[in-house]
Amino acid sequence: MQCDMCGKEDRLFIAEVEGTELKVCKNCASFGKLKGAAKSLQPEKKSKKKEQNIDNLHKEEQKKEIILRIMQGYGLIVKNAREKLGLKQEELAKKINEKISIVHSIETERHEPSISLAEKIEHHLHIKLIEQYEETHETFKRDLRSQLTIGDLITIKKR
């Protein structure tokens, strides 16, 4: 922004000079009646940028984590697949190098198999036991959250 009187680029003030309001630098302001600091467009731009930065912060603090987990109803999935292949619990146990009691407790869902054991069962029974589960951690800082507008809160809830 340039001074209306001398053209100098400086922080400007609004001053009434001979009945006209002008944006003038500090020096020129002394020629007229000072009315206050001129509001340039620059501070507004800055505040917009700041909002975007806050938005970026939110995104950075959302950590997505892929978690492998055993599917619900895994017991029946294993039992049905085993029976379909005409295998006894004992035979499946041998294939996956586990005791019958392990197979039995998996099928009755008393024992959830580990991911590696589930992979073995998947392989031998041609089934899917493991699912990918995406967990989003939202770790907002309290002071950041307090700066959110109602609109922001609604979009967060929608997620």
Question: By three-state DSSP, how is residue 38 classified?
Answer: coil
Scanning the chain, the segments in alpha helix (DSSP H) are: 26-29, 42-60, 74-84, 89-95, 100-107, 115-125, 142-145, 150-158
Instruction: Tell me how far, at minimum, the Cβ of 52 lies from Zn ion, in Å.
Output: 34
**What is the Cα gyration radius of the chain?**
34
Task: Using the minimum distance from each CB to Zn ion, give the nearer residue, 24 or 92.
Answer: 24
Give the binding site for Zn ion (CB under 5 A).
Answer: 3, 5-6, 8, 25, 28
CB of 45 to Zn ion, least distance (A): 23
Beta strand 62-70 pairing with 130-138: antiparallel
- Shortest spacing between CB 27 and Zn ion, in angstroms: 5
**Shortest reach from residue 23's CB to Zn ion, in Å:** 9
Distances in Å between the Cα of 42 and the Cα atoms of 1, 46, 47, 125 are 9, 6, 9, 66
Q: Tokens 């009434």 sit at which residue?
A: 16
Using the minimum distance from each CB to Zn ion, give the nearer residue, 4 or 107: 4
Q: How far is the CB of 42 from Zn ion (least distance, A)?
A: 18
Torsion of CA 57, 58, 61, 64, to 10 degrees: -130
Nearer to Zn ion, 25 or 70 (CB): 25
Closest CB to Zn ion among 1 and 87?
A: 1
Q: Which is nearer to Zn ion, 22 or 129 (CB)?
A: 22
- Residues 75/127, Cβ–Cβ less than 8 Å: no
